[in-house]
A and B are shown apart, each in its own frame.
Chain A
Amino acid sequence: MEDLKRLIYVPILHAQDDSKHKASSLPKNQKMANELSAIDEMWAGIAAKIEGLNLPWKQIRIYQDGAPVCGNELTLAKRLAESGSPNFSFILDLINKGATLEGTEDMDLLIQEYDLLNKLLMKSSGTNQKAMNAEYQTKSRELLALRDQFILNRITDTLKKDEFPIVFMGVMHRLDKMLEKDFLVSYVIYRLPFRSIGTIYNA
């Protein structure tokens, strides 16, 4: 029987203002400083865990939540890292070690998600908020399933024989369960500081 290939799965919590917190000026108050510190701490924890795994970096292919197949994946990662995303900063570190970033998501589906969010945010002050939220959650779940299916295909199509995948995916994705058929999924989880879970948890 052929052994299943190991896949490293990192469930991530999207952080508040993840894309821009480093770009902003100094924190206005202690609360905000604590939040930023917790976000950095979470990513430092994930980085320490992954770096401690002694992985063969040149054989590592990275798949990232929200990173579309677009032809300029590396430029996009740099841009997001520059704008302050600790997630993408860490990915750039891994690329510098020799890992490869693969375009992971279907751009059309990401645009659909963006449109869905637009619709929700534009109507967020309306009276029928409950129905609006329920509708958003239903559609969002449907979209998530389509995205997971695309990512699954993407991983199996692009991963080379001698490579190992690392997958960074938001906790609401069910991709890990879909991957179990083809891979032996290993989880790298960093335990969050409880003081800040409420503020940075974005399941």
Chain B
Amino acid sequence: MHRKSSLLYANPILFSPIYLNAENISTEKLLALYRFANLFFPQMGSNLVNTLLDMEKNSERLTANSSPEERRKLIREIKGLSMKIQCSINDEEENMMDISINIIPGEVLKRVQQGRNDLIEYQKLSKDFDKLISQLITKEIMRRFTSKVTNSFKGFWKSQQVPSFITQLLDMGWIDRNGQLLQGASIDELLTGKYHKQFEQLMPEELLQEGMQIRETIKTCFEISQEDTDSLILDAKKRHALLEITIREANKP
């Protein structure tokens, strides 16, 4: 029986245009991949993806340096054509990341503006895109790393003599009695901060290395600024305004 398609029955990942499989992302390889792309496509990597995604989105920011006549001719010639581009990154055949792009070239040409690219605007857009992707990747990678740290902590609870650092973390409210890392815990403080030495003594070398790779990857690839004061304050103002209405209205008798 044919049933109308519904999200309730569909594969979840089909509805995510950018799909990340965090379990399969090796941070070491991600950094290497980024460096590879930078070596061979120094100015092209993210701009190319940006442009393709923008084409799909029918954005008005695209420009084409061609005469109106030439453009009209090309539109006639490519009428009916569509492009489906599947960008897929695999590690040992395990899928790490997918981006699906669907473009109708004729539609893109109809919308693009006449003229040359605005490079400054282009660079700005590229930075914005990096910020968005970096937050998605950071979130996923950190989640996986946290889970590995938790697994190591769990192991200590099974031993006869629980290390003093573990009990210290328990007292601080950073872990619970199952070794689960709690929200108050700071991975940064463990990896490179105040508790670096104790953490280093207890954790396997490979886990420490992975943690450092994560930091380096994020720093190198995305240059995330956690201290972007302007955007933090701007975001805070927006949220504040929404909450003000919510609290006032919700408390009305």
Contacts and interface: CB of A to CB of B under 8 A. Distances in A.
A17 interface: yes
B226 A137 contact: yes
A33 B112 CA distance: 20
Interface residues of A, number: 66
A76 B249 contact: yes
A110 interface: yes
Given A49-B15, A55-B6, A55-B7, A79 B245 contact: yes
Given A138-B186, A174-B139, A198-B124, 8 more contacts: A6-B9, A14-B238, A15-B238, A68-B250, A121-B237, A136-B236, A187-B12, A194-B61
Interface in A124-183: 124, 129-130, 133-134, 136-138, 141-142, 145-146, 164, 171, 174, 177
A150 to B, nearest CB: 13
Contacts of B8: 6, 8, 53, 55-56, 164, 186
Contact of A110 (B131, B229, B246): B246
Interface stretch (B29-37, B52-60, B153-161, B203-211): B52-60
Contact of B57 (A17, A117, A193, A203): A193
A171 B235 CA distance: 13
Given A117-B243, A124-B233, A194-B53, A187 B16 contact: yes
B-side interface mostly: helix
Contacts of B57: 191, 193-194
B71 to A, nearest CB: 22
B115 to A, nearest CB: 16
Contacts of B56: 191
B239 interface: yes
Nearest to B12: A186
Pick the most buried of A55, A137, A198: most chain B CB atoms within 10 A of its CB.
A198
A79 B249 contact: yes
Interface string B229-253: 1001111111111111111011110
Given A17-B241, A142-B183, A197 B129 contact: yes
A72 B252 contact: yes
A129 B7 contact: no
B236 to A, nearest CB: 5
A56 B7 CA distance: 11
B73 interface: no
Contact of A114 (B131, B184, B238, B247): B247
Contacts of A54: 4-6
Nearest to B139: A174
B125 A185 contact: no
Pick the most buried of B9, B125, B243, B250: most chain A CB atoms within 10 A of its CB.
B250
17 contacts: A17-B241, A49-B15, A66-B242, A76-B246, A80-B245, A107-B250, A121-B233, A133-B227, A137-B226, A141-B183, A171-B135, A174-B143, A177-B143, A194-B53, A194-B57, A197-B131, A202-B238
A194 B12 contact: no
Nearest to A118: B240
Given A79-B245, A129-B229, A14 B239 contact: yes
Nearest to B56: A191
Contacts of B242: 14, 18-19, 66, 80, 85
Given A110-B243, A194-B53, A189 B236 contact: no
A83 B7 contact: no
B17 interface: yes
A169 B230 CA distance: 23
Contacts of B127: 198
Interface string A61-83: 00000111010100110011001
Contacts of A145: 183
Interface string B1-44: 00011111110110111100000000000000000000000000
Contacts of A198: 124, 127-128, 131
Contact of B12 (A72, A118, A185, A203): A185
A6 B10 CA distance: 9
A188 interface: yes
